[in-house]
């Protein structure tokens, strides 16, 4: 299970992206970026954060620690913005926390240099999880202590918004032309040779076991949380073997992403900022 902490002080909202996470201090003296269950993106965004983030970590990519975060809206009563107040009030109970990296900088592809092998691993990983939210406009990458850290996987695993078409969706091309790391000569086939064999059923089970039951409960068409976990594992296992063959790195050959409307608006909105 992920470590569980309890919030003791709401510090500030982070308005950069769409989901307005909060910086919150916890009872373990740590500071966390909290993604709230009451956000418009819903609990599936939090499921995606855990499945993608914990898989990345096990493949050797850097992801700040994730924790189960108990939040009592009472600690946010000092927040003056009425919309954020509503968000906090609708998020009492279990939320998702990510260790806050103090002093980190947003990654800028024109300023930082990334090794081709690392770029390849991240582009391949984003194709594996269908992450449409790591473009050069909105990289969702941080530089911290001179290393590259991955954040914000809430918009990945887009097929979990329509399980019926998940298997077909997983056979579609992955457009990486706008990827934040596409200019660093990524070689997805080399990354796949290294990482795909590590994406085993056992590893995926370990990852999906970390998702709280209450975020998987009640999924239409499934008989309980464990069945939903198996669905996440099946799609990722199927993709791992061949997704590198479908990565499009050259602009102009744009495959259509199979994202629901609300998600495309969300991603495009963030890109415009
Ligand atoms: N672990 C972290 N440490 C430091 N800053 C963070 C961390 N996670 C997110 N941020 C900052 O908060 C912003 C919003 O977080 P993000 O996870 O991208 O959520 P969203 O885009 O859904 O609002 C990021 O762009 C980044 O500037
Ligand atoms: Mg973001």
Taking only the tens of pLDDT, the chain with its 273 residues reads: 999 999 999 999 999 878 999 999 999 999 999 999 999 999 999 999 999 999 999 999 999 999 999 999 999 999 999 999 999 999 999 999 999 999 999 999 999 999 999 999 999 999 999 999 999 999 999 999 999 999 999 999 999 999 999 988 778 899 999 999 999 999 999 999 999 999 999 999 999 999 999 999 999 999 999 999 999 999 999 999 999 999 999 865 544 445 566 666 665 565 555
Is the minimum distance from the CB of 106 to ligand 1 under 6 angstroms? yes
Q: Which atom of ligand 1 is nearest to the CA of 149?
A: 1
Is the minimum distance from the CB of 269 to ligand 1 under 6 angstroms? no
Q: Which protein residue has the closest C-alpha to ligand 1 atom 18?
A: 152
Angle between helical axes of 201-208 and 225-242 (0-180°, round to 10)? 140
What is residue 55's three-state secondary structure?
A: helix
Is the minimum distance from the CB of 233 to ligand 1 under 6 angstroms? no
H helices of 138-200, in order, are 166-169, 188-195
Q: Which atom of ligand 1 is nearest to the CA of 98?
A: 1
Task: For residue 21, report the phi and psi dihedrals to the nearest 5 degrees.
Answer: -65, 165
Residue spans of the domains in the chain: they are 4-99, 105-272
Cα 233 to averaged position of ligand 1 atoms, centre (Å): 26
Number of H helices, E strands in the chain: 8, 10
CB atoms within 10 A of CB 58: 15
Among residues 2, 3, 10, the alpha carbon closest in space to that of 28 is found at 3
Is the minimum distance from the CB of 31 to ligand 1 under 6 angstroms? no
Among residues 32, 3, 35, the alpha carbon closest in space to that of 17 is found at 35
How many whole angstroms separate alpha carbon 239 and alpha carbon 236? 5
Q: What is the structure's pLDDT at 27?
A: 98
Q: Which ligand is closest in space to the CA of residue 97?
A: 1
Q: Which protein residue has the closest C-alpha to ligand 1 atom 20?
A: 17
Half-sphere exposure of 209 (CA within 13 A, CB side): 7
Among residues 149, 157, 132, the alpha carbon closest in space to that of 207 is found at 157
Cβ 37 vs Cβ 43: under 8 Å: yes
Cα 154 to averaged position of ligand 2 atoms, centre (Å): 8
Q: Which protein residue has the closest C-alpha to ligand 1 atom 1?
A: 100
Cβ 160 vs Cβ 131: under 8 Å: no
Cβ 14 vs Cβ 81: under 8 Å: no
pLDDT tens, position by position, 204-258 = 999 999 999 999 999 999 999 999 999 999 999 999 999 999 999 986 554 444 5
Q: Which protein residue has the closest C-alpha to ligand 1 atom 11?
A: 14
Share of the chain above pLDDT 90, in %: 87
């Amino acid at each position: 299970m992920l470590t569980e902490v309890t919030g003791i002080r709401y510090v500030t909202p982070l308005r950069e992206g769409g989901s307005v996470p909060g910086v919150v201090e916890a009872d373990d003296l740590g500071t966390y970026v909290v993604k709230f269950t009451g956000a418009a993106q819903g609990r599936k965004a939090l499921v995606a954060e855990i499945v993608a983030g914990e898989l990345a970590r096990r493949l050797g990519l850097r992801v700040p620690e994730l924790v189960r975060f108990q939040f009592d809206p009472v600690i946010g009563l000092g927040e003056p913005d009425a919309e954020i107040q509503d968000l906090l009030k609708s998020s009492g109970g279990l939320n998702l926390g990510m260790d806050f990296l103090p002093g980190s900088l947003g990654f800028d592809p024109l300023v930082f240099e990334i090794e081709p092998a690392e770029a390849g691993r991240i582009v391949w990983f984003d194709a594996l999880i269908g992450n449409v939210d790591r473009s050069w406009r909105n990289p969702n990458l941080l530089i911290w202590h001179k290393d590259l850290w991955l954040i914000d996987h809430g918009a990945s695993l887009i097929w979990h918004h329509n399980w019926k078409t998940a298997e077909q969706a997983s056979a579609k091309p992955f457009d990486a032309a706008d990827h934040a790391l596409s200019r660093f000569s990524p070689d997805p086939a080399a990354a796949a040779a290294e990482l795909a064999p590590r994406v085993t059923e056992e590893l995926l089970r370990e990852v999906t076991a970390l998702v709280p039951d209450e975020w998987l409960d009640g999924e239409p068409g499934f008989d309980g949380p464990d069945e939903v976990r198996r669905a996440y594992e099946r799609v990722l296992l199927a993709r791992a073997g061949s997704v590198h063959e479908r990565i499009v790195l050259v602009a102009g050959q744009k495959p259509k992403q199979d994202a629901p409307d609300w998600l495309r608006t969300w991603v495009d909105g963030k890109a415009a900022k």
